[in-house]
Amino acid sequence: AVPVTVVSAIGAASKFGVIIKSGAAFERLGGIRHLAVDKTGTLTRNQPTVTTVIPAGGRNEDQVLAYAAAVEQHSTHPLAAAITGAAAGAPVAQGVTEEAGHGISGIVEGHRVAVGSPRWIDPGPLQAPVAALEAEGQTCVLVTIDGAIAGAIAVRDELRPEVPEVIRTLNHQGVEVSMLTGDNARTATTLAQIAGITDVHAELRPEDKARIVAGLAQHRPTAMIGDGINDAPALAGATVGIAMGATGSDAAIESADVAFTGHDLSLIPPALRHARRGRAIIN
Ligand code: ADP
Ligand code: MG
């Protein structure tokens, strides 16, 4: 049987948009000593916008954006939304294939167009400007047309304003925080510095996130908080999986112990405080 105090604490939490799936999940939450957080959409607003287009190989900004947007129309990735939103219009693309965590490619007006990460597409002559934009915390994708570098597109996704304060509070609560992201190391490190997170793991695939979380959870109780379908395996492997912005139909909420209906990270420290108090009463 679940103690009455736990039931009432879980009920109270739900009023603030924190859904705790069971008494056992609430108890585990109270024991958390490490929190792993996804970057994109969890620490950031998930409203990426194009700030800069750097053309190369004799192309111009409009061409680079239009060709990139042509293939990105077929993607649901947040970067794709930013690129199609910035383009004035886009031609039709055919035979589009997306490689999760890398990029996307297809045929546009008879030309093979690829858009993707600087790990997937060699930036060539754009190496230095791409590195500089990444050091500012922006994410860059490269665009090739028929295999030749045509340009780089820089996208900024701002940190949620409450993040530094939340990280400070968690540290005071004795919880260490790690950032896990598929984004590049320079962008991740810059945003982590602003957030006050010292442990950063970048350029990860979903299975890497799951492996890291499972490793941390073996040493001490570890929560993982994420929002994407990509994060479902990592949530499942944590002591407590926390899904953000859960709508009820997500793969993430299925594999989570705790779900936030909104994106307010400042609910984490009080949720932890309540769970610790609940634990103290049970034990
Ligand atoms: P995150 O963990 O930040 O959500 P992903 O694993 O989804 O990252 O993607 C990692 C990287 O792969 C992105 O930063 C981007 O460089 C590249 N990428 C993935 N999908 C696309 C796409 N549709 N268009 C361009 N680049 C992409
Ligand atoms: Mg993500």
Q: Hey, what domains does the chain have and what are their CATH numbers?
A: 4-45+159-282 (3.40.50.1000), 49-156 (3.40.1110.10)
- Give the dihedral of Cα atoms 87, 93, 98, 102; nearest 10 deg: -50
Residue count (the chain):
283
| Joined tokens for residue 242 | 């926390």
Question: For residues 61 and 21, what is the distance between their CA atoms, to the nearest angstrom?
Answer: 49
* Stretch among 115-124, 171-180, 245-254 having the lowest mean pLDDT: 245-254
Instruction: Give me the pLDDT at residue 32, please.
Output: 97
Q: Is the pLDDT of residue 273 over 80?
A: yes
**Nearest Cα to 266, choosing from 189, 161, 193, 175?**
161
> What digits encode the pLDDT tens for the residues 40-78?
889 999 899 999 999 999 999 999 999 999 999 999 888
Residues with CB under 6 A from ligand 1: 39-40, 72, 75, 77, 79-80, 98, 101-104, 115-117, 139, 141, 181-183, 228
Of the residues 64, 79, 225, 227, which should be mutated to test ligand 1's pocket, given the most ligand atoms within 8 Å of the CB? 79
Instruction: Give me the pLDDT at residue 246, please.
Output: 72
Segment 108-130 mean pLDDT: 96
146 part of the active site: no
Question: For residues 252 and 260, what is the distance between their CA atoms, to the nearest angstrom?
Answer: 11
At 111, is the secondary structure helix, strand, or coil? Answer: strand
Do 278 and 30 touch, CB atoms closer than 8 A?
Answer: yes
> What digits encode the pLDDT tens for the residues 174-205?
999 999 998 999 999 999 999 999 999 999 98
Instruction: Give me the pLDDT at residue 165, please.
Output: 98
Q: Is the pLDDT of residue 261 over 70?
A: yes
Q: Beta-carbon neighbour count of residue 271 at 10 Å?
A: 21
For β-strands 34-38 and 111-116, DSSP reports them as unpaired
Burial of 272 (0-12, 13-18, 19+ CB in 10 A): buried
Q: What percent of the chain has pLDDT over 70?
A: 94
pTM of the model: 0.86
> What is the band of 262 on the pLDDT scale with cuts at 50, 70, 90?
confident
Atom of ligand 1 at shortest range from CA of 40? 3
Instruction: Give me the pLDDT at residue 282, please.
Output: 57
> What digits encode the pLDDT tens for the residues 203-250?
998 889 999 999 999 999 999 998 766 788 899 999 999 998 876 656
* Stretch among 10-24, 44-58, 150-164 having the lowest mean pLDDT: 10-24
Instruction: Give me the pLDDT at residue 43, please.
Output: 95
Q: Is the pLDDT of residue 95 over 70?
A: yes
Tell me which residue has its CA closest to atom 16 in ligand 1. 117
Q: What percent of the chain has pLDDT over 90?
A: 73
Q: What is the value of ipTM here, to two decimals?
A: 0.94
Instruction: Give me the pLDDT at residue 229, please.
Output: 65
CA 45, chain centre distance (Å): 10
In the β-sheet with 103-108, what is the strand arrangement from edge to edge? 49-55, 148-156, 139-145, 111-116, 103-108, 93-99
Do 122 and 130 touch, CB atoms closer than 8 A?
Answer: no
Atom of ligand 1 at shortest range from CA of 98? 23
What is the residue-averaged pLDDT of the chain? 91
Name the H helices within the chain.
4-15, 23-30, 61-72, 78-86, 127-135, 163-172, 185-195, 206-219, 232-237, 251-254, 268-282
Instruction: Give me the pLDDT at residue 184, please.
Output: 92
